[in-house]
Chains A and B, each alone.
Chain A
Amino acid sequence: MLRFIGTRMAQLAVVVLVVTLLFYWMLNLLPGNPCVAAFGGAATPEQIAECEQDRNLDDPVIVQWAKWGGDVLTGDFGKSYLTGRTFGEAISNALPRTLLLLAYSQALALGAAIPLGLWSGYRQDSVGDKVVSGGAFALLSSPVFVVGLVLILVFAVKLDWFDLGGYRPISEGLVAHFKVMFLPAVTLAVGLLPIYLRLLRTDVIGTLQEDFVGTARAKGLPVHRVLLTHVLRPSSFTLLTIFGIQAAQAVNGAIVVEYLFDLDGVGSLLVSWVAAREYLLVQTLVALIAAVFVTVTALVDVVYSMLDPRVRRR
């Protein structure tokens, strides 16, 4: 088990190292001075000199990269030269929003996918199953920004049930918070739901053919007990694996959703830094996101192998 975790971590470390080194190398190939670019063309020579020294621009690429790595490891994540905000300040403001958005959407997606998946797997090829599966297929083909626009149009513009225009923390009241967060969470969940649902449905259909399901029914257990206690657990292993992968891919959706709903989370931060050419901040943020998500995937793998001993033997 330890070896397994070790391999995963080593893979992660190698990838982050290679990607950031590549980034540095590409930055070096770009024409122009990154420090001039970072100030948006309106900087005094002193500012530029300070920035150049800060970023060790006189050193060879590999030394610059090593120094950046050292800074990040010792907790110095850099700052925006344009606004003067440090990486830490920007992140501590944005991170809770993104995490809440991800948590709500995963809860909504799983909350809908588990009952629907169990039921449509149990009633395979019934009219209801066909409707659910067809709906899932349609949702799978809907880009998150199209879903978001339609939801905004219907529920915020026409019906006026929800608020647009920026994040509101829970401290401003639960109702205000959910009026702002519900639509973004649903938008993101709509992308995840069909993936979870289709997976679970396929696995439920497989599990239902097992002998122990027949035994459980023969003992006289009602259908819902059999589905919830005997079928759900063995059917949820693939769901769990994919959950790790989807947690990472949900960030894609989160970037778009935050942009769409003006939430100013981590995704918006990334986009604004990209627009402002804050390359080093982008790099640090990408490295952090990569680290977090490979860790999540590895953790999911660990939990998976604890739940299902067969995996460890692979």
Chain B
Amino acid sequence: MTDPSETTTAAIKPRVPTRFLRIPIGGRFRATLVDAESRAGPRRGKINIALWLSVGWLALVLAGAVLAPWLGFLEDPNRPLAGDPELGPSWSHWFGTDQLGRDMFARSVWGSRLSLSIAGPAVGIGVVVGGVLGVMAGYFGKWIDLVVSSVVNVALALPALVFALFIVTVLGQSYVNVTIAVTVLSIPAIARIARAQALRFAAREFVTVAKTMGARWPRILFRDVLPNVVPALASIAFLAMGIVIIAEGSLSFIGVSVGSPSITWGNILAAGRGRLEESPHIALTTGGVMFATLMALNFVGDELLRRLDVREARI
């Protein structure tokens, strides 16, 4: 980190021990002294290969998920004997076939379709609801903050999967219910980060100035605080997406996500578990795709956080 722009920033800013700048609630902290205003500062203008690889991979996976029904070269994921049973990866079947001879590449792509169509809305709703709750708690403080923070702290201390199981049990295993379950899980984590961000900006000079000038709270909230919180939320959305994909994957791995004819990454892996000895490619290929996708999501999220300097970024 011997970027010249960073040394200049450090020279202008008073040198404060980094420890005092961190809010000790837990998680991954940014220890940089660079302020949010100087987001044009470090690392800008450099082409980051890993970042663009991640973005490219995500675009590819997304395109596959969206376009799956229209991709001519893709086998029907449910057609038995698309090839001989339990073939290893080959040119005609990129990910091999399973014990019924179904094409694993097609199943993987179709699996991404369901996994992403659960994770997308879940994170979208999570960001809106969690963002609103968090910003309100951070900006207004007092009893709103007390209520939101209490709920968030307790919710974060509970094993998430247990609650997802609980919700899916009561409501039944359907697409909507699984989405509800994972959405509920993503809200508290997002709310906490939104709160920390709002808290930070509510104390800034420009908010005080706006108040002194007689601006009313909706104006301050929407014009001064929210625009500063939104970029952080956007980057958190990438990290949250990864976590929701893992949560849904875990649910379908143990067999309590969307019912069985549907294909998800989790239930492909669950099926691959039984054939690990004979045909490890079933679990390894889809596992690899999932790993790469999560890695890309985390990487993009992390990089955005670093550029925006969000200090409290753990989920």
A interface, CB within 8 angstroms of B: 11-12, 15, 23, 26-27, 30, 125, 137-138, 140-146, 149-150, 152-153, 157, 195, 198-199, 202-203, 205-207, 209-210, 237-238, 241-242, 244-245, 248-252, 255-256, 259-260, 270-271, 274-275, 277, 279, 282-283, 286, 289-290, 293-294, 297, 311
Q: Among the listed A207, A241, A283, A289, which residue makes an inter-chain contact with B26, where contact means beta carbons less than 8 Å apart?
A: A241
Q: A279–B26 contact, CB under 8 A?
A: no
Q: What's the Cα separation between A144 and B253 when bound, in Å? A: 11
Interface size class of B (residues with CB under 8 A): 35 or more
**B157 surroundings in chain A (CB, below 8 A):** 244-245, 248, 293-294, 297
Q: How many A-B residue pairs have CB under 8 A?
A: 166
Residues A252 and B266 in contact in the complex (CB < 8 Å), given A153-B276, A202-B28: no
**Mind listing 6 A-B residue pairs with CB under 8 Å?**
A144-B246, A199-B29, A206-B17, A206-B19, A238-B24, A255-B159
Give residues in B with beta carbon < 8 Å to A.
Answer: 1, 17-19, 22, 24-29, 31, 150-151, 153-163, 165-166, 168-171, 242, 245-247, 249-250, 253-256, 266, 269-270, 272-273, 276-277, 280, 283-284, 287, 290-291, 294-295, 297-299, 302, 314
Known: A140-B298, A146-B291. 19 other contacts (CB 8 A): A11-B150, A15-B154, A138-B295, A141-B242, A143-B245, A143-B249, A143-B291, A153-B284, A199-B28, A202-B28, A210-B17, A237-B24, A241-B24, A241-B25, A245-B156, A255-B250, A275-B255, A279-B169, A294-B154
Which listed residue, A30, A157, A271, touches B256 by the CB 8 Å rule?
A271
Say yes or no: A149 contacts B17, CB within 8 Å: no
Give Cα distance in the complex from A15 to B153, angstroms: 11
Known: A27-B170, A252-B159, A252-B160. A149 touches B276 (CB 8 A): yes
Given A209-B17, A255-B250, the answer on whether A145 and B269 have CB atoms closer than 8 Å is yes
> Lowest 4 CB-CB distances: which A-B pairs, in order?
A251-B159, A252-B161, A141-B295, A141-B294
Which chain B positions have C-beta within 8 A of A198? Answer: 28
Chain A positions within 8 Å of B280 at CB level: 153, 157
